Amino acid sequence: MSGKVYLVGAGPGDHKLITLKGLECIKKADVILYDRLINPKLLKYSKENVETIYVGKEPNAHSYNQEEISQIILQKALKGNIVTRLKGGDPFVFGRGGEEALLLMENSVEFEIVPGITSAISVPAYAGIPVTHRNVSSSFHVITGHEDPQKQHSSLNYKALGALKGTLIFLMGIKNIVSISDNLIKYGQSPKRPVAVIRRGTTADQKILTGTLENIAEKVKEHGLKNPAIIIVGEVVKLSELLPWFDKKPLFGKRVLVTRTRTQASKLSEKIEELGGETIEFPTIEIVENHDHDDIDRAIGQIEKYKWLIFTSVNGVNYFFERMKKLSFDIRLLKNAKLCAIGPATAKELNDRGFVVDCIPKEYVAEGIVEELKDKIEEGDYVLLPRADIARKSLEEGLKKLGANVDNIDIYRTTIPKYERKELIEILKERKIDIITFTSSSTAKNFYTILGENNKELLDNITLASIGPITSKTANDLGMKINIEAKEFTIDGLVEAIL
């Protein structure tokens, strides 16, 4: 029995411009074939055991030709797989999706077309150019700019194009911009008609070059602009001076490497992306449950004796209450315990579970907790610390000096994820990283371990940002000079410090 194929438009580059249905197709696919213009972040939504096949077609360097791609899609589907074919923009706008669909139909393979946001509209929008505008342009026309330059005669009807008053949008036309400009002028377009060339629109690499039909080709050559790019011809181009928004964001053009755990990275990434930055997630830490439950089970078994429960992370909250749930313990047994959270994120996690937090220190570090509790803890009070296996001892020692009986329990462990060093080196060399963020000592320490002492020079021109002084000290001690340190030791504080 054959499987099913989804021909999906993945949008123009910004990974958030994919449709909900497109995202669903990625999540359920057994096999994903993707082009070179696909944002790699989209692949992180796929299943763990998905087969991914890169079928990108670059100028003069095709990994597969179109016929081969179509056959791969067909053969994978005939084996019973759910196949998602990810295409840049929309699959039916110069995407050759029709050819792939016809082959599937001829072989009685079920398929669906999932439209995408075409670069013809979205890229100008990110540059502040509406493709239609009242009293300026009442139509727009999308034209392929990717013709073989060796052809003696263009298949485009430049006589008809030259007579059009609406906006003309040429996709992937940089290589032929001289021919496009000359022919438009030859067949009636004004040499002074405004033109914009936008490269890698909707991404951190977005570059906009404006001119006129008579000088745009020379400007493109002068600035060395190459595909992927689109060409927009028309008076609407002038509106880009009045409506810029994307490239005005404070972190526009900045690439930020996020080293948090895979499950936690999204919060920091989203905040950076909202400000116009591009994030590359490379988790250097993984949080796993401590499978030796003896200590935590013993503590939960006598939970009523504790006067204070101190949580130093969101992870500690989650693992503690998950363990209580598995042991079928009634949370009402905590009625006599006071709760302390190291910071607002941890406090929010407790609040979301229905608990009122009694104490948050002014400084979100172990020393801040000790300072906050010095007049609250009484001699002999029992205190439970469910936290990471590598947590600093300063909190436990400080509480004991206050006279507390402290049970420090490793409720979860932190490890280095399985990554190859060459992957990190490639990111640092090829992706032109501007900023690397460290949200804990572990992320800094593990990053350095993965990078390796011999590759430290790759950090020379990169700004390093830390969530607070403890993390900064760890990084500095390793020889990684921290340039930015958050004043408030939270994700929001880190983003504010970067700004």
Residues known to be catalytic: 35, 57, 172
With b for 16 or more beta-carbon neighbours within 10 A and e for fewer, the 453-466 pattern comes to eeeeebbeebbbbb
On whether the CB atoms of residues 52 and 29 are closer than 8 A, the answer is no
Paired tokens of 126: 């990110």
Residues in a beta bridge with 230: 171, 198
> Going by C-beta distance under 8 Å and a sequence separation of 6 or more, which residues neighbour residue 426?
none
CA pair distance 370, 398, nearest whole angstrom? 6
SS3 188: coil
With b for 16 or more beta-carbon neighbours within 10 A and e for fewer, the 431-446 pattern comes to eebbbbbbbbbbbbbb
CA pair distance 85, 26, nearest whole angstrom? 9
Backbone angles phi, psi at 117, to 5 degrees: -80, 115
Backbone angles phi, psi at 231, to 5 degrees: -115, 130
For residue 467, which amino acid is it? I
On whether the CB atoms of residues 480 and 456 are closer than 8 A, the answer is yes
Size (the chain), residues: 499
Judge residue 138's burial from the number of C-beta atoms within 10 Å of its C-beta, 0-12 exposed, 13-18 middle, 19 or more buried.
Answer: exposed
Paired tokens of 247: 């490239």
For 53-118, give the DSSP string: EE--EETTEESS-HHHHHHHHHHHHHTT-EEEEEESB-TTSSS-HHHHHHHHHHTT-EEEEE----
SS3 128: coil
| Residue written as token pair 């993984």 | 286
First-to-final CA distance of the chain: 55
> SS3 string of 16-36?
HHCCHHHHHHHHHCCEEEECC
Residue 377 DSSP class: P
Cα dist from 67 to 81, 103, 116, 158, 290, whole Å = 20, 10, 22, 30, 51
